[in-house]
Structure 1
Amino acid sequence: MSQPVTTPTPRRPRRPRALLATAAVLAALAAGAGVAPAAQASVAPVMNYDGTTVNNARIPATDVEIELVTPVAFDRGTYVVGTTPVGTLGAGTAAGGTYRARTTVDLGGRSGSITLVAKLYKGKYLAQTVFKVLRVVPATRTAIPAGWPNAASTGVPAGTTLTRTGDVVVTEPGTVLSGLDMGCLTVRAADVVVRRSRVTCTDGRQLAVALTDAEGFVMEDSEIDGGDGGTENAIGWSDYTLRRVEVRGTQDGPRLGYDVTVVDSWIHALVRHDGVHTDALQSTSGERILVRHNTLDPRTAGDDDFLNSAVQLGTETGTKRLRDVVFEKNYLDGGTFSVNVKCSANIDSSVVFRDNRFGHGSKYGGVIAPGRLRVSGNTYVDTGARVAVEPAC
C-alpha cells in the first residue's frame, strides 16, 4: 500500500532582527508613545510624597509636592486627574540611571481614592504615562464629630469630688465603688460596680483593671489612665460592661473576650512601647461582644504616630474563634487601618461592622479584612462616601 506524500510548507524568509526592532519602534511612535530602552524596562516608575511612595498613602487635599522617578528620559510633563490638569513638570534630571523631577500638584477639593496620571513627553512624542492610586484626605485633622463620645460626655463628671486611695482589691460580691481616685484595681468577685471613679495604674502590670471570676462587672462614668504607657492593657478579659468610660495612657485599650459590652465610651491617647502594636480595642478570641456608639482613636493629639488600629481582631488564643460580635454606630479613626481583621481570623457572618462612621486619620485606609467579615452602612463622616474594605488575603 502506498504512503501519502506530504509536501513541506515553504519556510518564510526570516527578517533581520534590526528590521524587526525598527518596525516595533515605528509602530509604537505611530501610536503616540515612545519606547523606553530595554535596559531600563525592569525599573518601575514611582511617585513620592514626603519621602515615601504615594501608593494608597494619605495625601492632604491641598497643594503638595510630588517627586516623579522614572527610567525614561523626558523633557516635560503634565499631571492630570481624570481630564483635569493639576500640575506641570519640567525636564527630568538624570541621576543613577533614572530621571527625577519635582513639582506642585493641586489636590484641593478632592477626597477619597483617586488616580493621579503623569504624561511625560520627549520632543514631540509621548514617552511614558504613569498611573498611581493615592488617597486624598482633609488637610487638617478632624475633631471628634458632634454626637460622639468626647471629654464632656465620658469619664468622671465635672464637679465630682474624689477620695484618694491606693490600689484596690475587691473580693466581696456586689461591692459598689463610687467617688474614688484609685491606683490599680483588681476584682475577684461577681456583680461589682464602679461609678464616678478614676483608676490610675502605672506600675508596669498587665491590666489596669484586672478581672478574675468577676461576672457582671460594670464600670460607668469613670476613667482608666495608664500614665505614659505604664500599664499594658486597660481592662480584660471577659464578663464586663463599660458605659461612658474614658480610657487613655495604656499601651492597649480594653481587651475583648467573652460577654463584653462597651458603649458610649472614649478610647484615645494610647502609648506605643517597643514591640507593641497599639489598638484602642483588640480581641484574640471571644463571643457575645457588643461595641456601640463609642469614639475609638488610639492616637494622641499632636503626635504623628498613627499607632496600629482603632479595632484589631484575630483569633490567636483561647478557643481561637470569634462569634456573635457587633460593632455599630461607632466613630473610628487613626491606625494604619482603622479596622484591621487578620486574614487568618476564624470568623463567620456573625462578626458584623455596620453603620459606623470613619475619619480620615488612618495611614492607609478605613478597613482591611477578609471577605467573610459582614460590613454595611459604614461611611466617612464628612463626605458620606462608603468606606471600602481592603482585602486582607
Structure 2
Amino acid sequence: MATTTNAWPDATNTGVPAGVTLTPSGDVVITQAGAVVSGLNITGSVYIKADNVTLENCKITSGGWAGVTIDSGVTGAVVQNCTIDGTGRAPDGTGNQGIMGSGTFIGNNIFNVENGIVPGSNSVIQGNYIHDLQAGGSPHYDGIQIDGGLSNIQITGNSIINQWGWTSAVMIDNGFGPVSNVTVTNNLLTGGAYTVYADSNLGTASITGVSFTNNHVGGAQYGDALIRGNNSVFTGNYTDGAQLASTLNTSANSGTTTSPTMPPATPEVPAAPGIASWSPDTGKTGDGITDANQITLHGTAAAGSTVKVYDGSTQIGTATATSAGSWDYITKVLTDAKHTLTATATNSSGQTSAASAAVAVTVDTKAPAAPTIASDTVNAANQVVLSGAAEANSAIKVFDGTTQIGTATTNSSGAWSVTTSALSAGSHALTAKATDVAGNVSAASTAVDAVIGSGTTGSTGSGTSGTGTTAPAAPKIASFSNDTGTAGDHITSDKTLTLAGTAVANSTVKVLDGATQLGTATADANGAWHYTTAALPDGKHSFTATDTVSGVTSKASTALDVTVDTAAPDAPVLLSDPTTHNRATVSGTAEAGSLIKLYEGATLLGTTTVASDGDWSVTTPNLKHGSHTFTATATDAAGNTSALSQPIDPPIGSHSGGGTSTVEVTNVRQHSDYTATIKGTADPNSEIKLYDGSTSVGSSTTDADGKWSFQTSDLSGKSHAFTAEQVDTADHVVGTSSGAAMIGSGRSDTLTGTTGNDVMVGKAGADTFQFASNFGQDVIKDFAARGPSHDTIEFSKSVFDSFASVLSHAAQSGHDVVIATGSDTLTLKNTQLDKLNSHDFHFA
C-alpha cells in the first residue's frame, strides 16, 4: 500500500524558528519545576534538574559532554525547536551528545556531535533533524543510541543522516541491560555500517518488543539492518532513503509518496558451512589418520551463525561463527574408528543450511606390537645387517642404546631390513621400534648383542664379529639432577644426586667419585641406566663410570664434575633507599655473584646480580603514594636462598617540606605533528613538573579545578613514559603521579604498565602491552584487535592464565571493554568485547 509523508525534517523546518530574537547566555541550570526557558543563545550546556521543564526556541553551542542533560529521575521534560551544535569535541577531545535523558524531543536541529540523542526510558523522539555527526578521538557515531536498561521509547518522523560508514542511524543493543517496547516508524534513516541495529551480542539481557516499520532507509556500508540474537520486527520499510536524503534542504523536499520495496520476506537460508581443516594430523600428513582422540575442526560459516557438528548422524557439539565467518570446535574423546564429520549452520532466524562436505578422520591410538629381529649379520664394513617383522607399512627405527643408527619401512607383509651405519669396535645392544601410520610408537624389540671386533666377519645370525672378548665401549654419564640454581653450572644444593647415562644393554655399570666406588647400576634393554647417590658432603665431586660385559670391563667414562653447596648465603644488608619520580633505589651488600630479589611484602619489585665487590642496587617500578617496607633475599649459584634482610621503609610521594598531594595522569592525545597533549589532575593552582623517564621535559600549572595540560615536543623515533610531580613554593616534591602516560614510537613497541594508573597509546605498529599483578587502573586508548598492526595484551599468569579467565572478568561498558580483577582495571577504549579472541592475549 502506498504511503504519503510531509516534508522530511531538515534545516529549514527544525531548530530555532525564523524571526526569534535570542539573548546571549552561558551554562543554564534549571531547578524550578514547570519552568519554561525560551529564546536564549547559550554558549555552554543546559542541565535540567526539575520536573515538567520546557526548553524551546534556544540555540545551544556546547563543548561539554552533552548539549542538554536531563537528570536521572526527572519526568515531563520537553526540548523542542532548539538548534544544538556540539562543536565536534567533548572536554577530553573526543565526542559528545546532543541530548541525554528522558523526555519529549520535537523539532530539534542537532549536529557536530558523536551521538545525536541518547534517550532514557519513556521518551518520545519526533520530527528532529540529526546530521553532520562529528567527533575527535575514535568515535562510534549513532544518530540515536539505546545501549540497554531502557523501555518505552517512540521514534517517529525524524531525519537521521549518518554520513559515516560506522556505526548507525539508530543503535539498539543490550550492553547495559534489557531493552523493551521501542517503536521506530516513518523515519528517514541513512548511513552507518548498518543503518539500524537490534543487537543482542553486547550482553546477556533480552531485547523484546522492538519494531522498525514504514521507514525510509539506505546508504549504509554493509546493509539496512543488523538484527542479531532477538526477534525484533523489520517490515514494510522502503529502500529510497539515500535518494530522499539528497533532497533535504532543497525545494525537492516537499513530501513523498512511495510503495514499500522491502515487504516482509522469508528469512534466507544460510549457505552450507565448510570444514577447512583439522588437527593434529599425526603420522603421515594428509592420510586422514591420527593418534589423537580429540581433534580440533577449523571452518567457515555465515557470520554469527550457530554451527552444529555431526559424527555421522549424531550431533557431537556446537560452535559460533565469528563476525568474520570463522569457527573452531574441539571434539570430546573419540573412539578408535573411522569418523565421518559434517556441519550445518543455523542463523538468528532459525534457518538451517544444508550439511557441509564430509571430512573422514580415522582415530588410531593403539601402538603397534614391538618388532621382532629375526637375524643380524656383521659385514666387512663393521655394519650390522638386520631383518625382521613388524606391523605392515610401519616405519622401523634401529637404535644402538639410545642412538638411532638406521631406518626402514615394512612392506605390506610386515617384513623389513636395515643396514646400520658403521659401528665402533666392541659390543652393541641393538633394538628396533615401529611407528604406525597414525604416529603411535611401539615398545622396543628384544635386544640383539652385535660385537664388532678384529676376528672373522660376515657370520649370520650370531650378531658377532671377532673373538667376543673385546672390552665394551666406555659408558657415558649424560646428565645429573637436581642441578639447582643456575642450570648448567654444575653447582647444586642437592646432596643426593641422580646420575643418568648409557651403556651396553643389560650390562653392569660401576659409578665412582674420584677413585672411590659409590655403587652399581644395571643398564636396561635400551642401554639406559640411572644411579642415585647417598648424601654427599659439600665440595667438588668428580664422577666416572665403567661398564662390564661377560666379565670384561670398559675404560672409564669421561668425568662429570659437580660441586655440592648446601650452605645458604647471609641475608643481604640494605643500606639506602633514596626516592625520586615515584620510585625508590634500594642499595646494599651481599655475597658476590648472588641473585638479589627485592620485595614489598610478597610482591617482587626487582632483581639484580651482586657485583664482585659485594655491592648491589635495585630501582623499583612506580609505586603508589604512602609508606612502603622493602626486604630482600640473596640466592647463591647453587640455588640456596638466604633469610630475609632487615626491612627498610621509604615514604613515596612525600618530602620533609610538607604533606602529600595526589597527582594523576588522566589522558593522552596524540597529534599528526608527532607531538602529544598529556592531561591530569592535582591540587588547584599548583606547579606540575613533567618527566620523560628521569629526564625533566617541562612544567605546567593546574587551574582552579585542579586540571593541568602539557604539550610535548616531537616524540617520533622512540617510545616514552611521562610522569608528573607536584612541587610546593620551595620546589619540594609534594606529590608524584602513581602511573605514567606511555606513548609508543609508531613501530612495534612493548609498553609495560606500572603499579599505578597508566594511560597508554601504542600508535602504529604491532604493540605489546604488559601487565603484572597490582597493575592499577590503566587505559589503552588505541588497542588494535585485528589487521597488520595487531596489538597484544600480555598478563602475568598471577593475574590471568587463560583467555577464558580474561573473558570471565571482562564486560562491555558503552563503546569500551573493561577487564577487572580486584581493585585493578584495564579499559580498552573503543573496543568491542565480541571482537576479542585468544590471539589478542599472552600469559607469561
- TM-score computed with the length of structure 2 as normaliser: 0.27
Question: CA offset at residue 261 of structure 1?
Answer: 0.7
Q: 1:44-59, aligned counterparts within 5 Å?
A: none
Asked if the contact 1:243–1:262 (Cα under 8 Å) also holds between the matched residues in 2, the reply is yes
The aligned residue for residue 15 of structure 2 is 155
CA, structure 1 residues 375+196, in 2 after alignment: closer, same or farther (shift >3 Å)?
A: same
Shift of residue 336 of structure 1? 1.1
| Alignment match, 1:336 | 193
**CA offset digits 1:110-149 (Å, max 9, x no partner):** xxxxxxxxxxxxxxxxxxxxxxxxxxxxxxxxxxx97211
> 2:27 matched to 1:167?
yes
Higher relative contact order (CA 8 A, sep 6+): 1
Equivalent positions of 1:239-388 (< 5 A) are: 240-285=103-148, 286-299=150-163, 305-317=164-176, 320-344=177-201, 346-359=205-218, 361-370=219-228, 372-381=231-240, 384-386=260-262
Query: Is the contact between residue 45 and residue 67 of structure 2 (CA under 8 Å) also seen in structure 1?
Result: yes
Q: Which blocks of at least 5 consecutive residues in structure 2 are unaligned?
A: 244-258, 269-302, 306-844
Find the partner of 1:194 among 55, 70, 79.
Answer: 55
For 1:251 and 1:173, the matched residues in 2 are separated by 30
Partners of 1:199 and 1:392 in 2: how far apart? 42
In structure 1, how many angstroms separate the alpha carbons of the residues matched to 2:58 and 2:212? 31
Q: How does 1:201-212 map to 2 (within 5 A)?
A: 201-202=62-63, 205-212=64-71
Identify which of 90, 96, 115 aligns with 1:232.
Answer: 96
Q: Residues 257 and 284 of structure 1 are in contact (CA less than 8 Å); yes or no, is this contact kept in structure 2? A: no
Distance 2:172 2:207 in 1: 13
Match of 1:176 among 19, 24, 36: 36
1:123 is matched with: none
- Secondary structure in 1 matching 2:115: coil
The one-letter amino acid paired with 1:316 is G
What is the CA-CA distance between 1:340 and the residue it aligns to? 2.0
> Residues 174 and 188 from structure 1, CA distance in 2 versus in 1: closer, same or farther, beyond 3 angstroms?
same
Instruction: Give the 3-state SS of the residue equivalent to 2:153 in structure 1.
Output: strand
Q: Supply the AA of the counterpart residue of 2:226.
A: I
CA distance in 1, matches of 2:304, 2:190: 19
1: CA distance, partners of 2:207 / 2:174: 12
Q: Distance in 1 between matches of 2:41 and 2:139?
A: 28
Instruction: Using the TM superposition, give the Cα deviation of residue 274 of structure 1 relative to its aligned residue in structure 2, in angstroms.
Output: 2.4
Q: Percent identity?
A: 27
1:183-215 per-position Cα deviation (integer Å, ceiling 9, x unaligned): 21011111110111111111xx32221111421
- How far does residue 347 in structure 1 lie from its aligned partner after superposition? 4.2
CA contact (8 A) 2:88 2:96 kept: no
Separation of aligned partners in 2, 1:162 and 1:198:
8
Q: Distance in 2 between matches of 1:384 and 1:333?
A: 16
CA deviation vs aligned residue, 1:66-94 (integer Å, no higher than 9, x gap):
xxxxxxxxxxxxxxxxxxxxxxxxxxxxx
After superposition, the Cα gap between the structure-2 partners of 1:380 and 1:392, relative to the gap in structure 1 and judged at 3 Å, is farther
Between the aligned partners of 2:82 and 2:38, the Cα distance in structure 1 is 9
Match of residue 122 from structure 1: none
Tell me the amino acid that sits aligned with residue 47 of structure 2.
T
The aligned counterpart of 1:140 is: none
C-alpha distance in 2 between matches for 1:226 and 1:342: 27
Aligned-partner SS, 1:379: coil
Asked whether the 8 Å contact 1:356–1:378 carries over to 2, the reply is yes
> Could you tell me how far 1:380 is from its partner in structure 2?
1.0
Deviation at 1:315, TM superposition (A): 1.3
TM-score (norm 1): 0.57
Q: Name the CA distance, whole Å, in 2 between partners of 1:316 and 1:348.
A: 11
Question: After superposition, what is the alpha-carbon deviation per residue over 1:282-312, rounded to whole angstroms, capped at 9, x for unaligned?
Answer: 111210100001001122xxxxx33311011
Per the TM alignment, residue 341 of structure 1 is displaced from its structure 2 partner at its CA by 2.3
Distance 1:199 1:392, change over 3 A: farther
1:368–1:392 contact (8 Å) kept in structure 2: no
1:136-187 deviations in Å (ceiling 9; x for gaps): xxxxxxxxx9721111111001121111101111111111011111121011
Partner Cα separation in structure 2 for residue 226 and residue 344 of structure 1: 30
Structure 1 segments unaligned to the other structure (5+ residues): 1-144, 300-304
Larger radius of gyration: 2
Distance 2:157 2:168 in 1: 17
Q: Answer yes or no: is 1:222 the counterpart of 2:79.
A: no
* SS of residue in 2 equivalent to 1:380: coil
Q: 2:79 aligns to what SS in structure 1?
A: strand
Q: Residue by residue, what CA displacement relative to the aligned partner does 1:262-291 show, whole Å, maximum 9, x if unpaired?
A: 001111111143232111001112101000
Alignment map for 1:86-101 (pairs within 5 Å): none
Q: How many residues align?
A: 238
Could you tell me how far apart the structure 1 residues matched to 2:26 and 2:116 are?
Answer: 22
Structure 2 distance, partners of 1:289, 1:343, is 18
Q: Give, in whole Å, the separation in 1 of the partners of 2:174 and 2:188.
A: 24
Q: Contact conserved, 1:369 with 1:392, CA < 8 A, in 2? A: no
Name the CA shift for 1:322/1:217 in 2 (closer, same or farther; >3 Å): same
Residues 290 and 277 from structure 1, CA distance in 2 versus in 1: closer, same or farther, beyond 3 angstroms?
A: same
Q: Confirm or deny: 8 A CA contact 1:282 1:313 kept in the other structure.
A: yes
Amino acid at match of 2:80: E
Native 8 Å contact 1:224 1:246 kept in 2? yes
Q: Secondary structure at the match of 2:69?
A: strand
Return closer, same or farther for 1:347/1:356 CA change in 2, 3 Å cut-off: farther
**Residue aligned with 1:153, SS:** coil
CA distance in structure 1 between the aligned counterparts of 2:125 and 2:231, rounded to whole angstroms:
24
Q: 2:468 — aligned with what? A: none
Q: Which amino acid aligns with 1:313?
A: I
